[in-house]
Amino acid sequence: MSEQDPATSAWTSMRRLVLELHDRRGVVSDAIGMSYLRAKALSRLTARPLSQRELSATLMTDAPYTSVIVDDLEQRGLVRREVNPADRRSKLVRITTSGRAVARKAHRIQSAPPPALAELSAPELAALEATLRRLVESAEDTP
Q: Is the dihedral of CA 34, 43, 93, 79 positive or negative?
A: positive
pLDDT of residue 30: 97
Instruction: Give per-residue pLDDT as tens, 29-53.
Output: 999 999 999 999 999 999 999 999 9
Domain ranges of the chain: 18-112, 115-143
> What is the topology classification, in CATH, of domain 18-112?
Arc Repressor Mutant, subunit A (1.10.10)
Q: In this predicted structure, what is the pLDDT of residue 89?
A: 86
> Global pTM?
0.83
**Residue 94 exposed, middle or buried by CB count within 10 Å (0-12, 13-18, 19+):** middle
Residue 101's pLDDT is what?
98
pLDDT computed for residue 143 by the predictor: 72
Low-confidence ranges of the chain (pLDDT < 50): 1
Pairing of strands 50-51, 87-95: antiparallel
For residue 2, what pLDDT is reported? 55
